[in-house]
Structures are given as structure tokens and as C-alpha cells.
Structure 1
Amino acid sequence: MENLEKFDRYIEHLCAALGHEDRNAGLQDYCRGLMLPIHRKSVEPLAAHTDPLHVAAKHQSLHHFVAKAGWSDRAVMTRIRDWVVPDLGLDSGCYWIVDDTGFPKKGTHSVGVARQYCGQLGKQDNCQVAVSLSLASVRGSVPVGYQLYLPKDWAADPVRRKKAGVPDEVSFATKPEIALAQMHEALASGVPMGVVLADAGYGDETAFRDGITELGMLYAVGIRPGTTVWAPGAAPLPPRPWSGRGIRPTKLRREPGHEPVSVKALAMALPREAYSALTWREGTNTDLSSRFAAVRVRPAHRDYLGTEMRAEEWLLIEWPEGEAEPVKYFLSTAPSDATLEQLVFVTKMRWRIERDYQELKQEFGLGHYEGRGWRGFHHHATLCIAAYAFLVTERLGQDGAKKNRARPEAASLPEGYLPRGSRTGPAPRA
């Protein structure tokens, strides 16, 4: 590695969160192994490449460090954040990106595994899913919160919980609820406020959007085509006039002919001139552009149960040229004088989380952990994020240097080395 001294300082910075000095070597070796250009980054390959002459002993120590040792993921993530934030340039724009990622998994014993939607596969399958919160700027991004989603059947199964080491204080929570808890924790620990970005899996939850507003932050979140809003200039009817008898009516009303509409219906009804072609950033091979329209609307979710109208928000619609209908919809609490260009730029900042996950999985082995327990799952993810965060800061300091410039080289394995489970001799012939 070109800058070993800086890496050593970084590791020393993280080790301050471990609680015991005898854990420092484990963190250093694990992070160094995760940064090596090797195909598989579960515990045994890391041991084989970081100490090829003592693979068994190193495997045992690394396994204990990641699967058993009681250091705090939260404390290490805080140290990671403190190291990266000064280089992100958040003064020019700060964004909090909420997302989740899935890891295909066989069997039923690995913590949190269930048949659920897996983004990596693009379908329902057996997998684990984790919710993350990333801190981002125009310069870069890094996760600052990460937690496994525990499905209801897991949360209610004391036998599996105990075997996997799920903490007693962890109960069932939806993904939006986990994300809100991560945001509360981030604010409490001093993370600068930013604009919250999320896809429709989160943005369609009214309680999630309300929770962001209660925290005092703005958002730009995806919603589904069927989400209902009051069209520009429309609003729910006031409560019925009081007759003078009984309880005074206080609930807002809807009537036939005076009802909210789906965002898809509203988008399809807009005139063609309402849409403008915009380019929001340079892609790898070409500029990224599409057609957009933005109108002021009021979200309508169950407002007939309330007594006050919801505030107006921006509805941003993306309808690429040549498509039969719009492809994406967003709600944003950006100021009423925000321009279309600003709305598009902010909303599209969410692309950074996609790159983070791509690199964390492909380059740092985020999904390679083979253990089954809660502690090991989160420890491995924290260390992957730690290794990735160091590379992010190196890139930011090198102004666009090649992505692997700060990566070390893998040590050669001893002659005759065989991974656990490999055959010790030739396969039998038929």
C-alpha cells in the first residue's frame, strides 16, 4: 500500500472504540484482508492471505474477533464517520440516503434469513436483508448506520433468537421504522442534518415521511404510481357545518367528484409542455438525462381521519422520451421556490448508495460472511464499511485517482494450501 502510515493511523483511530487492546490486531488484520484483491472474503480466506504460514491459528483468532468478541459496532461506526466526514465537503450539500440490500442465503438457521424480496436477485427468495443509512455529498458517500431486518417469524421465535444471539432489546420493526431509528441515533451523535433520500419502499410510508419532518429535515423520496394526492389547487373539504346538536364535526371530508387522484393519473393528465428535458450528471459513457415535471400537491393518505390539511409538497415526475407512461414519482418537502433543476439534482443524488453497495459487495465482501449469528453478521459488515471508508477518503484526497490505488497486494499462499472442505486427493474416477 502506498500510504501504510495513513492506514496505520486510521486503524489506530478505529481501535480506540474496541475496548481492549488485545482486539486491535484482529481489527487490523481483518480490515487489511478485506482490502486485498482476493475473490472470497469470508474468515478463512482472510486468514490464509494475511498470515499464510499460520492459517489455522489466524483463522481461529479472526473468527473469535468477528463472531464472538463483544466490541460495539456503533462505537466503531462512529469512529469511521468521524474520519470520513471532514473530507466529504458536506458544507456544499449534505444528504442522508436510506436503503436496504439483500444477501441470498440457503437454509433457515442464519440470523434473519427468510423468503423475502432480494434486490440482488430482483425477486422473492431466501435471503437476509439489512437496512442502511449513508451520509453523502457531491464528493462521496459512506454508510453510517447498518442493521439486519428481522422478519416477524424470527422476531417471535425465542429458540432461533437465542441460538443466533439476537439481543433481547431487538424486537420486530419494519424497514422504515429501522431507518427512522437510525436517523434518530445519527442526530443524537452529532451527524449534520441533511436532505433524506429513499426509494418508494420507504417513501410510500406516510409515517416515515412524517417522522423525517418531525426531525426537522427535508426529504425527496420515491413513491408508487398509486399514491394519492390532491391535485394543484385542490384540497379536502372542511368539516361539516355544526347543526348545534351533538359533537361538533372536526374531520376533513371527501365527496363524490371531490376526491384525491393517483400521482399516475395526475402525471398523465399534464400537458406535454409541462415536461422539460434535463441532464443531471455525467455518466460513465454519456450524460444522464430525462424529461421531468414538478407540481405542488397535498398528500392525501387518510386525511379524512384528520382535522388539518397536510402541507403542500413537490411532486416530481420522470417521464423519459419514448416511454408510454412516467417511470418514477417522488415527493419532496423542498422549499416552494425550488427550481426543477434543483429538485432533479437532489433526488438523483440517491445514485451514490447504489455505487456504495456495488463496491461493498464486489470489492469488500459484504455478503461473504458465512457465520449464522447476529453479532458476526454486524461485525463483518462494520469492518467491510471500515475498509471501504478508508478507500473513500483516499480517493477524495487524490481527486479522482484510480479506484484501487490505495489497495494492498495479496500475499502468496503456501505451497499445498487447501481451503477447509477441499478434497485432499484427486476425485474418484467413475
Structure 2
Amino acid sequence: MDWEASFDEYLEHLCEALGHSDRRSGLAGYCQGLMLPIKRKSVEPLAAHLEPERISARHQSLHHFVSKSEWSDAALLEQVRCWVLPHMNPASGLFWIIDDTGFPKKGKHSVGVARQYCGQLGKQDNCQVAVSLSVATEEASLPVAYQLYLPQEWCDDPERRQRTGVPDEIVFATKPQIAAMQLRQARDSGAPNGIVLADAAYGNDTAFRDAVSELGLQYAVGTQSSTHVWARGTAPLPAEPAIGKPGRPRSLLRRAPGHKPLSVKKLALGLDQICYRTITWREGTRAMLSSRFSAVRIRTSHRDYWRATLRDEEWLLIEWPEGESEPIKYWLSTLPESAPLEHLVHVAKMRWRIERDYQDLKQEFGLGHYEGRGWRGFHHHASLCIAAYGFLVAQRLIQGGSKKNGAIRGQSALPSDYVPRGSPARTATRA
């Protein structure tokens, strides 16, 4: 089956999530436009290249579809997942990757924009940030959930919420809380088992790790060097005996002077150098990627003095490259105790796949190009970008891993008098 026939079949599959058959035109046009080889993929350029002779009318219909139409983002992304996942081979493992991505913004009126850390810039700046959940295997990965992080200042501002159409049910949630909710929704919709991967922004959060375990999923998540743990053979003291003391018997674990957990950095520095082995985990763009690693069994210690039982043992994975003065990365993992070091490293390093997704989504599909300010439009645009990208991922897998970004149709010629909005040529002349 050729690309155009496959794409039409894919669109029919996605239309089941839209609710009304008259929305198919908007879905098809928007996804086709996102796959065109054009520089800017906001609504007006899409309309101009799809129908050069009817730019205004096409712009109006696409704008309504992406900004006003009340279809479900979650339902559309579930359809995308159901189409792509059967082509993804989980023989070498299936993974759920948590991450977030930022979009720099100049103004202050777009929904969720605030001064916060922006990964794209590598610093604090004015931006929007969205949390995503991706499903991944060795060969491919795909976002299947995507939600804007709404800062506290936005949640507490009824006027801005109303102006940008933030739904009433949206309350403040941290990024780890959003990620945990996305995992729960994926599991409720029948998503398969997989190992959860995330960086230290999520792995540091004990409640997030506990939520993953409660869902019956294993994890391998980053953590900071200051995280405190109990090394194997050590643990908090049992509850204090209540002999001769009035009241109910004590049940909480306790600590004592000289009997406290230690940071993972201190634990790593105290290991003998023979505990570190060089492991190669995958082929990079120029050479095989390798480093030195060690793994030890530990128990996390966060507020365990408010618990009556010990936390379960898990892995602490440490990366200490040759020539570095100290370890550079740490992971906590609930993989089985029998897991070999090579497997622990392989799993922890699988999070790199999300970088490919965001690179393609931003550079090839215009993920950050939406110019509207509202909640619905922000999420609709992202869902449609992921839908277009999902078709490409499936085609790559069907064709045996091809990395070529094929377009559904060629770029239409624009009228000679067409001038994009915002162009200097549209600026009024001065006397």
C-alpha cells in the first residue's frame, strides 16, 4: 500500500475519536499541512500551502478546528497509540518514558506562560512547559499523553483562566503529579506493562515513585547525588519498646545519633574501585557509547521515620566515567534483584529515545509553532502534531526502520501576491 492510501486509512482510524464526521476535513488538512516541507507550521501558513486560492476560508476552517472544536485530545492520542503500538516490537523490552519540554514565549498572555526552567534554553526564562508520556521500544517511541503544566499563579487567577479557557476541573498539580496521572490513565485504557523511565526531576519525588509501584510497574529513574538511602545491611531502627511507658505501643521506625542514612554520593565514593565496570550500552552517531558503572542494593529513606515498616530494597545504579573526580549520574530502579549490571544500564539509558521524538516534533512537525493563547488550541495543536508524527513512526517501522521524512503531498505554489501575517511587507508605510 502506498503512502497516500495508508494515510487515508490512518485518518479514517483517527476520525473515530473526533465525534463528528464533518471534522474529518479539518483533521486531514491539518495533518497534511504539518507534514509539508514548510518552515512555519502555524494555522495561516498551513492554510496558505493547502489551498493557495482560498487562503482566508481555509484559515478560518482550520482555526476553528484547532482552537474551538470540542473533540477529545486523549481519545485522539489513544487512537494514535492503537495504530502505532502493534508495529512496535517489544521483544527487547517496552518502556514508558516521562519527560517535559519547554516553549520560549515573549509575552505573558498565552496559557500557562511563566518564568520557569526551559529545557530548550537550559535556563529559567519566560516559557510554557508540557509534560508528556511516551511509549518506547528499541526501534521507536511515540508520545501518547501530553498536558500543559499550569503554574500556581495561573491556577489561582480566575480572570486569566477564563480568558484562556482553562477547564474548571484543572487544579494545580506538580509535574510528577501530572506524570503519575498520565500513567494511571494509560493503564486504565489498557496500555501494556512497561518499565517507567524519567530523569531526576521526577525520580527525586518519592510520591511519584510510590505511584508507579502502586500501578504494578517497575521503574528506572534518575535521582540527585544528595538523595539519602540506607546501604545494604543497614536500616532504620525498629520502634522504641514501650516497656514501662504509658499509652499505646510505639510502631514507627526511628533513627538515632550515629545511625542515619547516607547520601548516594557518599555511598558511591565509598565503594571500592573494583566495583565499577565498563559497560557499553548502544551505538552512538560516531562511536559506541560506554562508561563505568556500579550497582548496589539499597533502601530509600525519605521520611521512613513516619513508617511502621521498612521500604523494599531496590537498585542504586551509579555512573562514574573514567577520568572524572566523582560519579556524574545516579538512578533508582525496582528491576529484579537478579538483573545483571548490563541490563540495568541498558534500561536506564533508554530514556534517550524521547530526545528523538522532541527533535522531530519541533523541527519537522511544528510542535512549538502554535500562535494561539488558549488551553484547547494548545493541546489540539500538540495532539495533531503527535498524530502526524505517529503516522511517520508507523511508516518507518513498516518499511524496516527508514528514517526518511516523507511528505504526503508536495508543497503547493503560493499566489504571487501572498504576504504572511507579521511580515515586514505588511507593515503600513509611513508618510
Q: Give the TM-score taking structure 2 as reference length.
A: 0.97
- Cross-structure match for 2:96: 96
Aligned match of 1:263: 264
Aligned to 2:20: 20
Query: Which residue matches 2:352?
Result: 351
Match of 2:160 in 1: 160
Could you tell me which amino acid in structure 2 is paired with residue 66 of structure 1? V
Cα distance in 2 between the residues matched to 1:309 and 1:219: 19
What residue is the counterpart of 1:175 in the other structure? 175
Task: Specify the alignment match of 1:392 in structure 2.
Answer: 393
1:179 shift after superposition: 0.7
2:69 is the counterpart of 1:69? yes
1:403, CA displacement in angstroms? Answer: 2.3
Deviations 1:146-174 (Å, cap 9, x if unpaired)? 00000001001110001100001111001
- Tell me the equivalent position of 2:115: 115
Alignment check: 8 A CA contact 1:276 1:293 kept:
yes
- Paired amino acid for 2:15: C
Q: Distance in 1 between matches of 2:234 and 2:322?
A: 29
Q: Deviation at 1:425?
A: 7.1
Superposition misfits of 4+ residues, deviation over 2 angstroms: 405-409, 421-430
Equivalent position SS for 2:162: helix
Tell me whether 171-180 or 235-244 shows the greater mean CA deviation.
Answer: 235-244
Tell me if structure 1 keeps the 8 A contact 2:298–2:314: yes
Distance in 2 of aligned mates of 1:202 and 1:262? 18
Equivalent residue, structure 2, for 1:416 = 417
- Counterpart Cα distance in 1 of 2:331 and 2:186: 24
- Which letter does structure 2 place at the counterpart of 1:196? V
Pairwise CA distance, 1:245? 2.5
SS at match of 2:97: strand
Distance 2:261 2:4 in 1: 60
Q: Does the CA-based 8 Å contact 2:139-2:401 persist in structure 1? A: no
Q: CA deviation at 1:89?
A: 1.4
TM-score (norm 1): 0.97
In 2: Cα distance, 1:245 partner to 1:260 partner: 28
User: Using a 3 Å threshold, how does the CA distance of structure 1 residues 312 and 426 change in structure 2: closer, same or farther?
Assistant: closer
- Is the aligned partner of 1:252 residue 2:258? no
2:293 aligns with 292
- 1:130 alignment partner in structure 2: 130
Which range moves more in the overlay, 151-160 or 83-92? 83-92
SS of structure 2 residue aligned to 1:128? strand
The answer to whether the 8 A contact 1:37-1:410 is kept is yes
Task: Determine what percentage of the aligned residue pairs are the same residue.
Answer: 64
Per the alignment, residue 329 of structure 1 pairs with: 330
Q: 106-115 or 382-391, which moves further after superposition?
A: 106-115
* 1:279 equivalent in structure 2: 280
**Cα distance, 1:244 vs. partner?**
3.2
**Counterpart for residue 342 of structure 1:** 343
- 2:406 matched to which residue of 1? 405
For the Cα contact (< 8 Å) 1:394–1:406, is it kept in 2? Answer: no
Secondary structure, aligned partner of 2:384: helix
Read off the aligned partner of 1:225 and give its amino acid letter: S
Alpha-carbon spacing, 1:291–1:249, altered in 2? closer, same or farther (3 Å): same
Q: Residue 124 of structure 2 aligns to which amino acid in structure 1?
A: Q
The DSSP-based 3-state class of the residue aligned with 2:132 is strand
SS of residue in 1 equivalent to 2:110: coil
1:363 corresponding residue in structure 2: 364
Secondary structure of 1:180's partner?
Answer: helix
1:302 aligns to 2:321 (yes or no) = no
2:303 maps to a residue whose letter is: R
Distance in structure 2 (CA, Å) of the matches to 1:184 and 1:169 = 17
The letter for the 1-side match of 2:271 is L
- Matched residue of 1:213: which SS? helix
What is the CA distance between 1:427 and its match in structure 2?
Answer: 8.9
1:357 Cα shift?
0.8
What is the CA–CA distance in structure 2 between the aligned matches of 1:113 and 1:426, rounded to whole Å? 28
Residues 298 and 23 (structure 1 numbering): CA distance in 2 closer, same or farther, change over 3 Å?
A: same
2:321 & 2:310 partners in 1: Cα distance?
32
| Distance in 2 separating the partners of 1:208 and 1:62 | 38
Deviation digits for residues 14-67 of structure 1 (CA, Å, limit 9, x no counterpart): 112111111110100100000111111111111111111111111111001000
What is the match of residue 238 of structure 2?
238
Tell me if the contact between 1:220 and 1:331 (Cα under 8 Å) persists in the aligned partners.
yes
What amino acid sits opposite 1:405 in the alignment?
A: G
Equivalent residues of 1:180, 1:212 under 8 A apart: yes
Q: In structure 2, what is the equivalent of residue 198 of structure 1?
A: 198
In structure 2, do the counterparts of structure 1 residues 360 and 268 end up closer, same or farther at CA, with 3 Å as the change threshold? same
Q: CA deviation at 1:428?
A: 6.7
The amino acid that maps onto 1:207 is A
Mean CA deviation greater in 232-241 or 150-159: 232-241
| Equivalent residue letter for 1:77 | L
Equivalent-residue separation in structure 1 for 2:151 and 2:421 (angstroms) = 32
In structure 1, the residue matched to 2:139 is: 139
Deviation at 1:400? 2.5
Aligned CA RMSD, in angstroms, stands at 1.6
Structure 1: gaps of 5 or more residues: none
- Deviation at 1:2? 5.1
Is the 1:94–1:193 Cα contact (8 Å) retained in structure 2? yes
* Contact map agreement 1:229 1:300 (CA 8 A) in 2: yes
Cα deviation, residue 234, structure 1: 0.9
Secondary structure of the 2:76 match is helix
2:253 and 2:308 in contact (8 A); partners too: yes
Structure 2 match to 1:33 = 33
C-alpha separation between the residues in 1 aligned to 2:429 and 2:185? 57
Task: Measure the CA separation in 2 of the matches of 1:238 and 1:164.
Answer: 53
Amino acid of the residue matched to residue 287 of structure 1?
A: M
Q: What does the per-residue CA deviation read over 1:59-87, in whole Å, with 9 as the maximum and x for residues that have no partner?
A: 11100100001111111111101100100
Distance 2:426 2:266 in 1: 66
Offset from partner CA, 1:242-272 (integer Å, 9 cap, x none): 2232231211111222110000111111111
CA-CA distance at 1:278 after TM superposition: 0.7
Q: Take 1:401 and 1:218, find their aligned partners in 2: how far apart are those partners?
A: 31
Query: What is the one-letter code of the residue matched to 1:341?
Result: E
Contact 2:195–2:219 (Cα < 8 Å) also in 1: yes
Task: Give the partner amino acid of 1:422.
Answer: S
The 8 Å contact of residues 131 and 146 in structure 2, kept in 1 or not, is answered as yes
Cα deviation for residue 406 of structure 1 reads 5.2
